[in-house]
């Protein structure tokens, strides 16, 4: 006879945190959000500790190199999506690892034979007023000049004017040579009253810019997630099909941690992938696995050697796996069950395997609930897809700005490897949708707000770190009536009075 779980499958919205005693030390500025991302033995510290418990999902519409850099600045990590060529994914990893804090690769470049009209169009596209003039118009071409907003006046010049006629030529540029430190570059900016300092190599090729405005920005990111060489940390997704070719390429590119990207992780294919990593690299290469929704799946992957286990099936906003196949579990129930298995595994083996809650986050307070239920960190897709830094288009639909967002199981992504069951390649049916999400602005502003809410909630619960949140917090189930009570009710909201006649 089939096994039946006693409890219903529950979501985060069915729970509330119960406030606890708060001492005078329970202030947001005292809350520490560091959390392990890879396993460790009892008495040891995890080899990789996130500064904030947020990671971006292994999705085309979410995690590219631009997102990875932006999130690492805030203390989290991105997993670069695997549904692309090995060469393309490795190139993204390299761009993150070569991005030096304060040193910016030029993404606004032009040839000297192009025109003022091209400059104006480029500025509209990129939003940047500093444009490097290189012989071939590429970001690492041989530099011949520089154009800034002070180089031209659109109202007094012909659009056909060649860039070479109004650019600042190389002979008049103040520049730095490759190898200069950030401190030395900033000194040059201030000493020469510059807004931008080109950095060039011995062949006069542009390598980076250092901008005056980035000085304050760099100081404003105390949680930057860096490796021992002060490079941004970055993760990468892999699949169970081409892992023997993909994983070595990603490791060579500098990926700090890998994650098997699959809709269901309780499989022999995942075990084979983990065993390949262990045989080839030992414990030097870190790899997470998943997804699972109950203790048997967790124990299987932990025994296989996974460095972390991802929890959640069918709870993503663009996922229709439950509709299509009738499998999955409410995210709250899944996290609670797997966290209990994680704790039992730790007690029996002395090995702590972190778990990642993937999916089901609708509101910011769900983040804190997931952590309180036992998740060590959270993987978010829809949340990050709304920001400037996501790789999708920003559109105006019916007067509102949105960003495109699609699932890896959609026909648009066609990431059949994520749903691979060992048969012939290709997708038989969709397990994700193609959609829009409301545009939300910059990652930094939104993450800061979300973390502020998280810290405030933790203080209300009387805790100042994630382990204490998991150990000491009280949670309660809520009824449908109490959910209604929890929002504004029995009042007329002021923004609604305009519709009252």
Q: Which residues are marked as active site?
A: 319, 418
Length of the chain: 501
DSSP 115: B
CB contact at 8 A, 350 and 330: no
Helix (H, G, I), strand (E, B) or coil at 96: helix
Whole-number Å distance between alpha carbons of 501 and 499: 6
Judging by DSSP bridges, how do beta strands 131-134 and 143-147 pair with one another?
antiparallel
Crossing angle of helices 65-74 and 86-98, in 10° steps, is: 40
Helix (H, G, I), strand (E, B) or coil at 250: helix
CB-based contacts of 217: which residues, under 8 Å, 6+ apart?
none
| Closest CA relative to residue 483, chosen from 15, 51, 43, 10 | 15
CB contact at 8 A, 457 and 372: no
Bridge-partner residues for 133, per DSSP?
110, 145
Whole-number Å distance between alpha carbons of 360 and 382: 10
Whole-number Å distance between alpha carbons of 239 and 276: 12
Whole-number Å distance between alpha carbons of 80 and 87: 13
CB-based contacts of 17: which residues, under 8 Å, 6+ apart?
365, 368, 369, 372, 457, 460, 461, 473, 474, 475
Task: For the chain, give percent helix, strand, coil, nearest 5.
Answer: 35, 20, 45
CB contact at 8 A, 339 and 466: no
């Amino acid at each position: 006879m089939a096994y039946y779980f006693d409890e219903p499958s529950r979501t985060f919205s069915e729970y509330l945190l119960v406030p606890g005693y708060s001492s005078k030390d329970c202030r947001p500025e005292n809350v520490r959000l560091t959390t392990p991302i890879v396993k460790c033995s009892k008495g040891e510290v995890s080899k990789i500790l996130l500064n904030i418990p947020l990671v971006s999902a292994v999705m085309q519409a979410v995690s590219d190199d631009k997102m990875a850099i932006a999130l690492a600045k805030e203390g989290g990590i991105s997993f670069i999506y695997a549904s692309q060529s090995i060469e393309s994914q490795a190139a993204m990893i390299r761009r993150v690892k070569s991005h030096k804090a304060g040193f910016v690769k030029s993404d606004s470049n032009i040839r000297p034979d192009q025109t003022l009209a091209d400059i104006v169009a480029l500025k509209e596209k990129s939003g940047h007023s500093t444009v490097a003039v290189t012989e071939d118009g590429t970001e690492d071409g041989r530099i011949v000049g520089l154009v800034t907003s002070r180089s031209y006046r659109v109202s007094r010049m012909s659009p056909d004017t060649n860039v070479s006629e109004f650019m600042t030529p190389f002979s008049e540029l103040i520049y730095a040579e490759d190898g200069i430190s950030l401190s030395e570059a900033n000194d040059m900016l201030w000493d020469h009253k510059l807004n931008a300092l080109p950095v060039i190599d011995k062949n006069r090729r542009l390598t980076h810019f250092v901008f005056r405005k980035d000085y304050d920005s760099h100081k404003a990111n105390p949680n930057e997630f860096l490796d021992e060489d002060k490079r941004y940390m970055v993760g990468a997704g892999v699949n169970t099909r081409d892992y023997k070719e993909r994983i070595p390429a990603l490791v060579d590119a500098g990926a700090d941690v890998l994650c098997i990207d699959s809709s269901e992780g309780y499989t022999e294919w995942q075990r084979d992938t983990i065993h390949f990593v262990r045989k080839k690299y030992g414990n030097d290469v870190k790899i997470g696995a998943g997804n699972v929704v109950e203790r048997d799946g967790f124990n299987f992957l932990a025994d296989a050697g996974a460095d972390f286990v991802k929890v959640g099936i069918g709870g993503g906003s663009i996922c229709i796996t439950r509709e299509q196949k009738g499998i999955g579990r409410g995210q709250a129930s899944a996290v609670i069950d797997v966290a209990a298995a994680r704790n039992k595994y730790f007690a029996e083996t002395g090995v702590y395997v972190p778990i990642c809650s993937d999916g089901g986050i609708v509101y910011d307070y769900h983040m804190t609930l997931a952590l309180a239920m036992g998740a060590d960190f959270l993987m978010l897709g829809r949340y990050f897809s709304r920001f400037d830094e996501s790789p999708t288009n920003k559109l105006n639909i019916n007067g509102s700005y949105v960003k495109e967002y699609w699932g890896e199981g959609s026909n648009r992504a066609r990431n059949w490897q994520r749903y691979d069951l060992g048969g012939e390649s290709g997708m038989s049916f969709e397990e994700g949708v193609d959609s829009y999400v409301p545009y939300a602005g910059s990652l930094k502003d939104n993450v800061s707000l979300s973390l502020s809410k998280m810290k405030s909630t933790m203080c209300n619960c009387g805790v100042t770190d994630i382990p204490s949140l998991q150990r000491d917090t009280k949670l309660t189930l809520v009824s449908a009536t109490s959910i209604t009570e929890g929002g504004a009710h029995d009042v007329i909201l002021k923004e609604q009075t305009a519709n009252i006649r």
